[in-house]
């Protein structure tokens, strides 16, 4: 097989429910092989796992990957040392992260210490909040200390490295976007953390006042 075709073998096809990629990782914590860190964390934090044995993989400590094309186990690198296949079009040596879907515009934020999506040119890192926000929010968000270093107040998933979309409420607290929509579906319009309004309620209060006057 020609070199160029070998590099692209399996691109966009191999992977798991979380990422399109052409390698698996050997988790340094339990020495087991998984498609990605999310696959590991889901398996090791499931109800089938004894509570004292539940854990997340320390992503930055991954040292070995297994090529999905030829099965060769090797040190973390973008191209397989045996067959030459590119194990991820996006590759971060710091996070030991591989992904073939580069349409996400992944980038590594040194201050966050992890890879993020959306394009580095579109985001800035807020030192007080301790996370990356859209540049459109640079002068329009209320800073909250370590704003995303906690669980979503609705579903309790850790926000800092979640794969789901996050929104910043007017009060500065962060929450999954889908959780906000679920709250609105149930007519809940206040922040679950501080109880401040999550949207402009002036029109609703005005209508209520009019109904009282009538």
Flag whether pLDDT at 209 surpasses 70: no
Distance, CA of 45 to CA of 27 (rounded, Å): 14
Distances (CA, A) of 211 to 31, 203, 204: 65, 12, 11
Inter-CA distances, 67 with 26, 78, 81, 134, 164, Å: 11, 10, 9, 35, 27
pTM: 0.81
Contacts of 149 (CB under 8 A, 6+ apart): 130, 131, 159, 160
Asked if residues 33 and 66 have their Cβ atoms less than 8 Å apart, the reply is yes
Question: What pLDDT sits at residue 206?
Answer: 66
The torsion angles phi and psi of 5, rounded to 5 degrees, stand at -70, -35
Mean pLDDT of 50-73: 96
Domains and CATH numbers, the chain: 3-101 (no CATH), 108-202 (3.30.40.10)
123-126 and 114-116 as β-strands: parallel, antiparallel, unpaired?
Answer: unpaired
pLDDT tens track for 15-29: 999 999 999 999 999
User: pLDDT tens digits, residue range 100-146?
Assistant: 999 999 999 999 999 999 999 999 999 999 999 999 999 888 999 99
């Amino acid at each position: 097989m020609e070199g160029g075709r070998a590099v692209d073998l399996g691109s966009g096809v191999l992977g798991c429910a979380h990422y399109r990629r052409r390698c698996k990782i050997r988790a340094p914590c339990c020495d087991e092989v998984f498609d990605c860190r999310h696959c590991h964390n889901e398996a090791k934090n499931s109800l089938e796992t004894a509570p004292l044995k539940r854990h997340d993989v320390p992503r930055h400590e991954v040292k070995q990957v297994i090529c999905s094309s030829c099965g060769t186990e090797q040190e973390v690198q973008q191209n397989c040392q045996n067959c030459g296949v590119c194990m991820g079009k996006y590759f971060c040596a710091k996070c030991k992260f591989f992904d073939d879907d580069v349409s996400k515009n992944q980038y590594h934020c040194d201050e966050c210490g992890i890879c993020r999506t959306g394009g580095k040119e579109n985001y800035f890192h807020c030192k007080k909040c301790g996370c990356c926000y859209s540049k459109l929010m640079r002068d329009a968000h209320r800073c909250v200390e370590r704003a995303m270093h906690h669980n979503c107040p609705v579903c309790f998933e850790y926000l800092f490295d979640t794969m789901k979309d996050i929104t910043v409420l007017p009060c500065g607290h962060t929450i999954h976007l889908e959780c906000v929509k679920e709250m609105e579906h149930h007519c809940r319009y206040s922040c679950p953390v501080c109880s401040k309004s999550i949207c402009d309620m002036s029109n609703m209060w005005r209508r209520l006042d009019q109904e009282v006057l009538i």
